């Protein structure tokens, strides 16, 4: 690798480093607001959204560590640690999917209603363009530096964006129709994204293949 290529890679890693800090800052706000609004409104969709924000926060924290290692010590970094971080993220996503299915099933069985949350709706609306920007930049940089971990983190941002869309659709439909079951059904629609992302994060080989 030439000096120019090394400098170019360092610039990209530094960009990714600050993108992760931006992600952390937003996820702290997003998790706090959505978990609070979900608790107040008894909304499974908002609670799942908030828990996913915490997972995204953990993922961003791992990436800050990984990128900081490269900035301080060069391109060499622990492949084993990166694979372990991916598997931890996958396990957390599987747990979240199980929580959503159990909670939604219980709400449908007991016909437990939830309240409309304007705060949750506003947070989700802001999250859509925010996650789009972060995911797009992370994927572009991940492809250039060949980082499986950064691409996996970008997928987290993509899923968070889709969750935001599901929250907006669910809350809007709930407000317009007043149907008690909308929140539970909408939350089940999230499970597919969580399981898909969890499988990709768990499989080190699959993640690795997507980065080449």
Q: What is the CATH number of the domain that holds 54?
A: 1.20.1510
Q: Which pTM value belongs to this model?
A: 0.76
Residue 130: its pLDDT value, please?
Answer: 95
Q: d(Cα 71, Cα 42) in Å, to the nearest integer? A: 44
Q: d(Cα 198, Cα 189) in Å, to the nearest integer? A: 15
Do the beta carbons of residue 182 and residue 81 sit within 8 Å?
no
Total domains present in the chain: 1
Q: d(Cα 24, Cα 160) in Å, to the nearest integer? A: 13
Q: d(Cα 165, Cα 205) in Å, to the nearest integer? A: 30
Query: Is 106 a residue whose pLDDT tops 60?
Result: yes
Q: How confident is the model at residue 25 (pLDDT cuts 50, 70, 90)?
A: very high
Burial of 155-191, coded b for 16+ CB within 10 Å and e otherwise, reads bbbbbbbbbbebbbebbeebeeeeeebbbbbbbbbbb
Residues written for the chain = 212
More confident call, 17 vs 52:
17
Q: What residues make up the domain containing 26? A: 3-210
Q: How far is CA 149 from CA 2, 15, 65, 75, 156, in A?
A: 24, 15, 11, 14, 11
Percent of the chain past pLDDT 70, that is, above it, reads 84
Query: Is 82 a residue whose pLDDT tops 70?
Result: no
Query: Is 119 a residue whose pLDDT tops 90?
Result: yes
Do the beta carbons of residue 2 and residue 22 sit within 8 Å?
no
Reported as a single tens digit per residue, the pLDDT across 31-47 is 999 999 988 888 877 88
Reported as a single tens digit per residue, the pLDDT across 137-184 is 999 998 898 887 788 788 888 878 888 887 888 788 878 887 767 767
Q: How confident is the model at residue 211 (pLDDT cuts 50, 70, 90)?
A: very low
Q: d(Cα 106, Cα 103) in Å, to the nearest integer? A: 5
Highest mean pLDDT among 24-33, 80-89, 161-170: 24-33
Residue 163: its pLDDT value, please?
Answer: 81
In the structure encoding, which two tokens stand for residue 152, read together?
A: 């996996």
Backbone angles phi, psi at 83, to 5 degrees: -65, -40
Average pLDDT over the chain reads 80
């Amino acid at each position: 690798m030439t000096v120019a290529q090394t400098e170019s890679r360092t610039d990209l890693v530094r960009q990714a480093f600050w993108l992760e800090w931006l992600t952390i800052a937003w996820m702290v706000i997003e998790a706090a607001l959505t978990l609070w609004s979900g608790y107040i409104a008894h909304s499974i969709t908002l609670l799942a959204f908030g828990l996913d924000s915490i997972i995204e926060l953990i993922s961003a924290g791992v990436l800050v560590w990984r990128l900081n290692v490269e900035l301080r010590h060069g391109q060499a970094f622990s492949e084993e640690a990166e694979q372990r971080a991916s598997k931890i993220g996958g396990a957390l996503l599987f747990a979240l999917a199980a929580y959503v299915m159990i909670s939604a099933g219980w709400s449908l069985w007991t016909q437990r209603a939830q309240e409309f949350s304007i705060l949750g709706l506003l947070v989700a609306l802001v999250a859509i363009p925010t996650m789009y920007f972060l995911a797009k930049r992370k994927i572009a940089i991940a492809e250039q530096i060949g980082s499986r971990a950064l691409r996996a983190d970008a997928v987290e941002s993509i899923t968070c964006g889709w969750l935001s869309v599901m929250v907006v659709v669910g809350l809007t439909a709930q407000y317009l129709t007043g149907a008690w079951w909308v929140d539970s059904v909408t939350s089940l629609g999230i499970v597919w994204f969580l399981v898909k992302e969890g499988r990709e994060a768990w499989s080190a080989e699959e993640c690795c293949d997507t980065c080449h």
